[in-house]
Structure 1
Amino acid sequence: MRNGKIIGRIASVILATATICALPAAAQTTASTAPADDAVIRSAIPRIDALFENFQKQNPTPGLVYGIVANGKLVHVRGFGVQDMAEKRPVTADSLFRIASMTKAFTALSILSLRDAGKLSLDDLAEKYVPETRGWKYPTSDSPRIRVRDLLNHTAGFVTDDPWGDRQQLLPEAEFTKMIRAGVPFTRAPGIAMEYSNFGYALLGRIVANVSGMPYRTYVERTILKPLGMTSSGYEVGESPLARRAIGYRWENDAWLEEPTMKHGAFGAMGGLQVSANDYAKWVAFLLSGTPARDDADRGPVRRATLREMAQGSNFSRTRRRFGSTAQSGCVQSEAYGMGFRVAQDCQLGRMMHHGGGYPGYGSHVLLLPDYGVGIFVFTNRTYTGAAEIAWDAAFLLNDAGAFTSRPIPVTPALTAIHDQARAAYASGDVSGLPLAMNFLMDRSAANWRTEFARLRGLVGDCPRAEPLTATGALSATIRWTCEKGALDGQILLAPTTPATVQALRFAVVQKQP
């Protein structure tokens, strides 16, 4: 904070140049695993630009930058307004913003990387790594003690601490140690509900430091930031060039007041990271590269399987409405907290991972669609102004434009072989030639199957053509057969046996000609 003086009303909007850039190979997904349509995304960009520009003007916010990552690259980034109202420097893709609680994902991945290295277990008690917490317990005889996993999932029993936690950023490590030794009150027993806790993620930062043997920020920078090429990002704001910093502001008494620039401290693990849009896009692309599971070389600083693990929630799910203009659409989401991300199931777009960031002087939001390989993020330099609703509106605009197509599940040889045998069984009217699981004829007799095949043939006749199978898993698929007088839809479900056997075969007439 430069003397905390009032700097004046919002500057006129200055637009930064949009850029398109490829990311380092380690952060890219492969073409076969990222089906979003780049051309459709680019065609929708003028409308999305307008969404963010209108938000920046109407709220108002001194400056804003947003980016869209798809197919392993930053396909679009755009800045609006200014990063510094005194100098009127325009926001660009290289402007540095604090991302507040979006830092938690970096902390979570650091814990998981230490787990991968065999240095801790998520089911270990937190007191094993932070001995000052030894003896912490909710005051009932049957209450469990806090595990590392509870801290990751916000199920440790701590009270929600926004905005108190935001102002602890400066706390020196020695003072944090005193705070831990003094103990903290529990709001409930661990493991029975999710309640968001900045304090819990500060404890995770201490675990990272104690287990790795180096300061928390050093571990994150060496393990994640540097390998991903995030060379402009870091925790100590004073180490970055002033000319690139987006200065944080709040609106108070009809004027802009500059927020103090907080140094890195013990609570940096919950919200202290500073990044540029160009850098953060590399992180988003890396997270998206974890989906789907596949045989490609695992070149990232942390395993793909570990990235997917971040979406595993605490299973304390709740229902919520979407952000943005589609909130009243009738699509109510189921949401749980994973590890550094909220994970929702949406009726249109399926799995959505997201997190906001609110901080004195800053607001941010990130939305990941891992099944489509797309991420959208936004940073602002106004206190607690994250523009989440606009990021979500942009995602649904892209969906309406046709940018997203579901990633196909490979059809296994076993499904292909049994599909061919099922077609032969229909032609012969007898299931005896199929490799049947032990339950198959117990659930429906061979005689009844002959009757059913005869009935279907009477309705639609022979079925000489079949559309390609649509796998719903490695052991299940839907089928569509084109027949003489219509069509049949069906399902093949294999049993968990070796060799492959059929546990269920289902058919339905979906089209019958007169």
Structure 2
Amino acid sequence: MTVAASTLHAVEAVFADRIEAGTAPGASWAVFDRSGIVASAGAGVASLDPARPAPGPDTLFRIASCTKSFTAAALLLLRDRGLLELDATARSFVPEFVPEIPGDLEVDPTVRMLMTMSGGLPTDDPWADREESMTREEFSATLAAGIRCATVPGTAFEYSNLGYAVLGQVIERVSGATFTDFVTHEFIEPLGLDMRFERPSDPAVPLATGHRKTEGDGWLALPFTGPGVFSSIGGLFASARSLATWGSWLAEASTGVERGPLGATSRREMQQLMRVAPNRHTPPPIPGASSPPPVVYGYGFGLFVEFDERFGAIASHSGGYPGFSAHMRWHAASGLGVVAFENATYARVSQGAEQALSIVLDAADQRSPVTPSPVPWPETLEASVVLSALVNDWSDAAASAVLATNAGLDVPYGERRAAIEAAWAAVGGRTAESLTPVDAECDSPDHLVWFLPGATGRLRVEARMTPLAAARAQTFVVKVESSEASVG
């Protein structure tokens, strides 16, 4: 999809303005669609070291919790290979994971519950962000020492990093490989992504250093942590270009394209709302403008899903690590998306990414979901012709040929015929035009509403077909357009 240069300049200004305002030393961003990268750039500095180059689309940043989309994809890949049941208990793979449940209920969190942030574990930012390098032995000991749930598993949304650390161990114990090796060999390498779990040792590789603010609005460079058990919650280094490629690959699943290690069906599954969360505040997309919160907001598999009042469904995930802020988001209907990084703790680059995607979608006139209008099944149209004839000249035999078995049981044919005659009388009787349907409306292939003119008004006729291949009308409703009286 073509994005105008003026739109991309507006996106660039969003991140340049944020750096100028002091949100972070530097930023990197990219706009993408289902075919790949549309535009990318950087702003500010990647490091306080003047010898380091300015950040650009190929500069590596920590993407933090955006990594959870890789963890979820890995679990679905194992599921698709027949090696994992998502409704199995996490304890069946990680036996030391036996959390205390409120009310001492006997409920075990399942893999699916942990994937959808409904495992009952309490929110654990920022503790978990500092635990990336924990070893497997230390993690097992931590779990064995005792874990507590805040809610009964499977009943509520609560964001948990610990849950995704447990899922990382599920992946290891099912696959027989380390989490980092599995993700690298199954996703990063096949898709050609510039990502890794280790800090690059080559000084020539462009790398952003993380920072936090100090008193007086100065910046303090922070050390990097190495991979460990908590890498499955947020351990990846990635460039804006590579994370945009990942987002583009996930977004193209809506078209049914089969490409890469995970099938389109499973990639679409990741982007479905699985657990509703409390509505969050959405920053205004344009300074000074108001923006309503999402109509619905929650979690899928490793991705947040929201339904924006203006644009429809949007998939996203933010990431926050000591020294870094990351965000990726894309519009389900068009595949247009934005990824953005900043190298500062709590920079909330998600606000800039949301604003940038709003600019792109507004310019592309994507203010409502782009979905094709439903087309009636041929059987639905054929039934409407027969039903129109029945409304004009009732025949029990003709009715039995077009109506499903429930219709005569719900309203006997005699009652239907009498009610139809009363409806005609209410609109002045039949005319020469009464056999010609007008203003047909379809909201699903099996459902059709149309109108039959009378002398002084018209009748509203509604039909809904059964789901059988040899479909018949299970719903047949005739009523005066302006009256509540009907026969169904």
* Alignment correspondent of 2:36: 73
* Alignment correspondent of 2:269: 309
* Alignment correspondent of 2:372: 408
2:137 pairs with 1:174: yes
Q: CA deviation at 1:411?
A: 3.2
Give the distance between the partners of 2:16 and 2:456, measured in 1 at CA. Answer: 56
Asked if the contact 1:430/1:450 (under 8 Å) is kept, the reply is: no
Q: CA deviation at 1:202?
A: 0.9
Question: Which amino acid is 2:38 matched to?
Answer: V
* Alignment correspondent of 2:89: 125
2:18 pairs with 1:52: no
Asked if the contact 2:325/2:347 (under 8 Å) is kept, the reply is: yes
Q: CA deviation at 1:248?
A: 1.1
2:42 pairs with 1:63: no
2:212 pairs with 1:250: yes
Give the distance between the partners of 2:459 and 2:334, measured in 1 at CA. Answer: 30
Give the distance between the partners of 1:421 and 1:172, measured in 2 at CA. Answer: 66
* Alignment correspondent of 1:493: 464
Give the distance between the partners of 1:82 and 1:186, measured in 2 at CA. Answer: 42
Give the distance between the partners of 2:380 and 2:285, measured in 1 at CA. Answer: 46
Q: CA deviation at 1:489?
A: 9.1
Q: Which moved more, 1:323-332 or 1:218-227?
A: 323-332
Q: Which moved more, 1:427-436 or 1:97-106?
A: 427-436
For the structure 1 residues 419 and 241, does the alpha-carbon distance in structure 2 shift closer, same or farther, using more than 3 Å as the test? farther
* Alignment correspondent of 2:278: 318
Asked if the contact 1:159/1:186 (under 8 Å) is kept, the reply is: yes
Asked if the contact 1:202/1:267 (under 8 Å) is kept, the reply is: yes
Q: Which moved more, 1:302-311 or 1:219-228?
A: 302-311
Partner SS, residue 2 of structure 2: helix
For the structure 1 residues 493 and 421, does the alpha-carbon distance in structure 2 shift closer, same or farther, using more than 3 Å as the test? closer
Question: Which amino acid is 2:120 matched to?
Answer: G
Give the distance between the partners of 2:123 and 2:382, measured in 1 at CA. Answer: 57
Partner SS, residue 365 of structure 1: strand
For the structure 1 residues 346 and 489, does the alpha-carbon distance in structure 2 shift closer, same or farther, using more than 3 Å as the test? farther
Question: Which amino acid is 1:58 matched to?
Answer: A
Asked if the contact 1:460/1:487 (under 8 Å) is kept, the reply is: no
Match of 1:395 among 334, 349, 357: 357
Give the distance between the partners of 2:332 and 2:271, measured in 1 at CA. Answer: 10
Q: CA deviation at 1:468?
A: 9.5
Give the distance between the partners of 2:234 and 2:455, measured in 1 at CA. Answer: 64
Q: CA deviation at 1:109?
A: 1.0
Give the distance between the partners of 1:275 and 1:436, measured in 2 at CA. Answer: 59
Partner SS, residue 75 of structure 2: helix
Q: CA deviation at 1:113?
A: 1.0
Q: How many residues align?
A: 465
Give the distance between the partners of 1:508 and 1:357, measured in 2 at CA. Answer: 57
Alignment of 1:123-272 (within 5 A): 123-133=87-97, 135-138=98-101, 140-230=103-193, 232-239=194-201, 241=203, 243-253=205-215, 254-272=217-235
* Alignment correspondent of 2:325: 363
2:82 pairs with 1:100: no
* Alignment correspondent of 1:274: 237
2:405 pairs with 1:438: yes
2:67 pairs with 1:113: no
Q: Which moved more, 1:253-262 or 1:180-189?
A: 180-189
Q: CA deviation at 1:491?
A: 6.3
Asked if the contact 1:322/1:333 (under 8 Å) is kept, the reply is: no
Q: CA deviation at 1:136?
A: 3.7
Question: Which amino acid is 1:501 matched to?
Answer: R
Asked if the contact 1:235/1:264 (under 8 Å) is kept, the reply is: yes
Asked if the contact 1:378/1:386 (under 8 Å) is kept, the reply is: no
Give the distance between the partners of 2:64 and 2:128, measured in 1 at CA. Answer: 11
Query: Quick check: which has more Rg, 1 or 2?
Result: 2
Asked if the contact 2:271/2:301 (under 8 Å) is kept, the reply is: yes
For the structure 1 residues 291 and 461, does the alpha-carbon distance in structure 2 shift closer, same or farther, using more than 3 Å as the test? same
Give the distance between the partners of 1:381 and 1:502, measured in 2 at CA. Answer: 61
- Over the aligned positions, Cα root-mean-square deviation in angstroms equals 3.4
Deviations 1:160-204 (A, max 9, x none): 111111111122233222222222233333222221111111111
Asked if the contact 1:477/1:493 (under 8 Å) is kept, the reply is: yes
Q: CA deviation at 1:100?
A: 0.5
Give the distance between the partners of 1:373 and 1:488, measured in 2 at CA. Answer: 42
Deviations 1:272-291 (A, max 9, x none): 11111221122111111221
Partner SS, residue 134 of structure 2: coil
Question: Which amino acid is 2:260 matched to?
Answer: G
Q: Which moved more, 1:266-275 or 1:154-163?
A: 154-163
Question: Which amino acid is 1:347 matched to?
Answer: E
Partner SS, residue 254 of structure 2: coil
For the structure 1 residues 299 and 354, does the alpha-carbon distance in structure 2 shift closer, same or farther, using more than 3 Å as the test? closer
Q: Which moved more, 1:71-80 or 1:426-435?
A: 426-435
Asked if the contact 1:460/1:486 (under 8 Å) is kept, the reply is: no
* Alignment correspondent of 1:18: none
Give the distance between the partners of 1:302 and 1:467, measured in 2 at CA. Answer: 44
For the structure 1 residues 421 and 77, does the alpha-carbon distance in structure 2 shift closer, same or farther, using more than 3 Å as the test? same
Asked if the contact 1:137/1:143 (under 8 Å) is kept, the reply is: no
Alignment of 1:379-394 (within 5 A): 379-394=341-356
Q: CA deviation at 1:312?
A: 4.0
Give the distance between the partners of 1:72 and 1:427, measured in 2 at CA. Answer: 50
Asked if the contact 2:282/2:292 (under 8 Å) is kept, the reply is: no
Q: CA deviation at 1:221?
A: 0.7
Asked if the contact 2:336/2:361 (under 8 Å) is kept, the reply is: no
For the structure 1 residues 267 and 492, does the alpha-carbon distance in structure 2 shift closer, same or farther, using more than 3 Å as the test? same
Asked if the contact 1:103/1:270 (under 8 Å) is kept, the reply is: yes
Q: CA deviation at 1:144?
A: 0.5
Alignment of 1:416-495 (within 5 A): 416-423=378-385, 425-426=387-388, 429-430=392-393, 435-440=402-407, 442=410, 445-449=416-420, 452=423, 455=427, 461=433, 472-476=443-447, 493-495=464-466
* Alignment correspondent of 2:485: none
Structure 1 gap ranges (5+): 1-37
Deviations 1:90-109 (A, max 9, x none): 22111111100111111011
Give the distance between the partners of 2:290 and 2:24, measured in 1 at CA. Answer: 26
Give the distance between the partners of 1:286 and 1:422, measured in 2 at CA. Answer: 42
Asked if the contact 2:128/2:162 (under 8 Å) is kept, the reply is: yes
Deviations 1:332-364 (A, max 9, x none): 532222211122222232222221111111101
Give the distance between the partners of 1:372 and 1:401, measured in 2 at CA. Answer: 13
